[in-house]
């Protein structure tokens, strides 16, 4: 079976017929069909972007893939093991909201997952210091999140995910709350992280240019219930950065994303296309 989201090769994570229907909040209301059915094969080491109109079930897709919620129908497989409503080992998630813990210093925030996993203190220190260095936070190890800017706090959250050495990194609009310049720079850091770790990345974003600049492949989702209506391969070299925004192909990719999305975005707004 090869739907629009599947692709040959060594699949790292596989979604088949994934559907999510939320039960009605009140009696008398209809259940909400939020997602699917969705088929998707993520190749090992791929950078996959997801764009779609707001409310199309992008975050639901991420939560199902992360094992934070179970699909109503269909299956999710990560590294040949089925994921069903419980987070598998080797998956890291960065959320849009600030998920740093305000009661812990930056260092302790980043060390949190390692301590929970029972990693010994010498190894924890080594990995935390490395992640802080990688994210440019070394000078802020003893600071508390409240003393940092929004962009810095999001770096703390990325570092916290990074130290666990995830093989699949899921990002849910991680730069949504940041200004445009910071987002471009964070995009560069994300690319560097992806290259250095060799991890598979799934990035949800509402910014078409961000998806076009960062991804190997972009899935365009329909209005609710979200399904993939287009798959765009960017063909960027692995060694790329934000300067590709001046490449002619960048404009073509962004234009194609928008032409696929325009009607769906209007639907999501409740307008007639």
Partner 1 sequence: MTRAGWIRIAIVLGAIAALEVVTQAGLVSRHTIIPPTAMAAALWGLIGSGEIMPDITKTLSNVAAAFVLSAGGGFVLGLLIHAAPRLRRALDPLLATYYAVPFFVFYPLLIVIFGMSDLPIIVIGFLFGVVAMIIATLNGLDRVPRVALKVARLSRMDPVSIALLIKFPAATPYLFTGVKLAVAYSFIGVIASEFILSGAGLGFAISYAYNNFDTPRMYALMLFILVSVTAVNMVLHTIEQRMLRRRGLAR
The contact set with partner 1 (CB under 8 A) reads 66, 68, 86-87, 91-93, 95, 97-99, 101-104, 112-113, 116-117, 144, 146-147
- State which residue, 117 or 249, has the beta carbon closest to partner 1: 117
Helices 121-134, 106-116: crossing angle, 10 deg rounding:
130
The least CB distance from residue 198 to partner 1, in Å, is 21
Distance CA 22, CA 59 (A): 14
- Give me the residues paired with residue 14 across strands: 41, 77
The least CB distance from residue 267 to partner 1, in Å, is 28
- State which residue, 104 or 125, has the beta carbon closest to partner 1: 104
- State which residue, 98 or 241, has the beta carbon closest to partner 1: 98
Q: Please name the residue ranges forming H helices in 67-206.
A: 106-116, 121-134, 150-162, 180-197
Residue 85's closest CA among 20, 33, 142, 24? 20
The least CB distance from residue 227 to partner 1, in Å, is 25
Distance CA 49, CA 254 (A): 12
Distance CA 88, CA 81 (A): 9
Beta strand 47-51 pairing with 91-94: unpaired
Distance CA 185, CA 172 (A): 17
- State which residue, 144 or 250, has the beta carbon closest to partner 1: 144
The least CB distance from residue 73 to partner 1, in Å, is 22
- State which residue, 147 or 180, has the beta carbon closest to partner 1: 147
Residue bearing tokens 């209007």: 266
The least CB distance from residue 237 to partner 1, in Å, is 32
Distance CA 37, CA 208 (A): 23
- State which residue, 74 or 113, has the beta carbon closest to partner 1: 113
The least CB distance from residue 184 to partner 1, in Å, is 25
- Give me the residues paired with residue 220 across strands: 51, 230
């Amino acid at each position: 079976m090869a739907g629009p989201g599947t692709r040959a090769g060594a699949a790292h994570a596989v979604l088949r017929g994934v559907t999510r229907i939320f039960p009605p909040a009140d009696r008398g209301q209809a259940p909400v069909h939020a997602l699917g059915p969705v088929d998707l094969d993520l190749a090992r080491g791929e950078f996959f972007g997801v764009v779609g109109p707001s409310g199309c079930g992008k975050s639901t897709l991420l939560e199902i893939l992360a094992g934070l919620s179970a699909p109503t129908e269909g299956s999710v497989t990560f590294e040949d093991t089925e994921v069903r409503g419980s987070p598998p080992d080797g998956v890291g998630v960065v959320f849009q909201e600030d998920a740093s813990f305000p009661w812990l210093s930056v260092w302790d925030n980043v060390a949190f997952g390692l301590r929970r996993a029972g990693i010994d203190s010498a190894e924890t220190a080594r990995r935390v210091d490395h992640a802080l260095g990688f994210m440019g936070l070394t000078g802020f190890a003893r600071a508390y999140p409240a003393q940092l800017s929004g962009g810095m706090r999001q770096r703390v959250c990325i570092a916290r995910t990074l130290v666990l050495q995830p093989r699949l990194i899921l990002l849910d609009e991680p730069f949504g709350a940041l200004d445009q310049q910071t987002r471009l720079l964070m995009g560069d850091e994300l690319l560097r992280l992806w290259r250095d770790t060799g991890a598979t990345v799934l990035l949800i974003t509402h910014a078409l240019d961000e998806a076009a600049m960062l991804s190997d492949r972009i899935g365009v989702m329909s209005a609710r219930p979200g399904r993939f209506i287009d798959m765009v391969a960017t063909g960027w070299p692995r060694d790329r950065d934000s300067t590709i925004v001046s490449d002619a192909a960048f404009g073509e990719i962004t234009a194609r994303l928008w032409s696929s999305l325009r009607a769906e975005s209007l639907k999501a707004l409740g307008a007639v296309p």
